[in-house]
Structure 1
Amino acid sequence: MFEYHGWIALRSTAEAIDDEPPLRLGEIQALVDEFAGYALMDLRPMNGTYYIHLGGHPNHGGQYAEAVIGLFAEVGKLAPGAYGLLYVHDDEHPEHMLNFRIHRLVRGTVTEYADHLLSPVIPTLEDEDTN
């Protein structure tokens, strides 16, 4: 299983004030639309700022994991002032099957970090299977 939850606050640049320069909302919406139908994902304004919220739990990560993390990188290219976090857990990942990983988007760059709040999944979130 591949589980992910995240958000991105959209800003065209780190210096942007009152939507100047304007966001490339059409291109960003097209990226969000690619996940329509099989993910919880939306792009919407709240109090003058646009946000992307996303979450999902498909059976396998693989290409889907790459696409979700790639979304963060693509948004960073289109809106270099955007920032956000993506928590992922891939129980099929050979190195991180028992851990969540955090992907951080800041100033157009996505970096990956170890999670210490929900990891290790066993025993933090789940009991060990004793059968």
Structure 2
Amino acid sequence: MSLTVLVADDSKLSRRSVIRALPPELETTLFEATNGKEAIDILAQSPVQLVLLDLTMPEVDGVGVLEYLSEQPSSPDVIVISADFQPEKQRTVMSLGAKRFLRKPLDKEELAMTLFELGYL
């Protein structure tokens, strides 16, 4: 069974890095968003199960995406992947429903362990 994943980051290089970090045994259907507004549009139209979300994006930031998801009757799991590792920011995103907060640059083993802990592997 394929896991539907949305990778939302304004940097193409970062999106590619996150996609390459996904474990090869994880069968995925991928969506990509270059900003928070695109992410929200995809989430409104497609049944996404997992969001890999950057915080600093144009139009709508990652916190705005999490706020949108918190208002939905059901929402996907969210793993925030950001270089903005301030404790207050971590508390904010976790209070809005993020499952984990991972630091950029993304460590493949840390992502795999997180996916295992969340039941995807």
Superposition TM-score, scaled by structure 1 size? 0.32
Structure label with greater radius of gyration: 1
TM-score normalised per structure 2: 0.34
Which structure has more helix as a fraction of its residues? 2
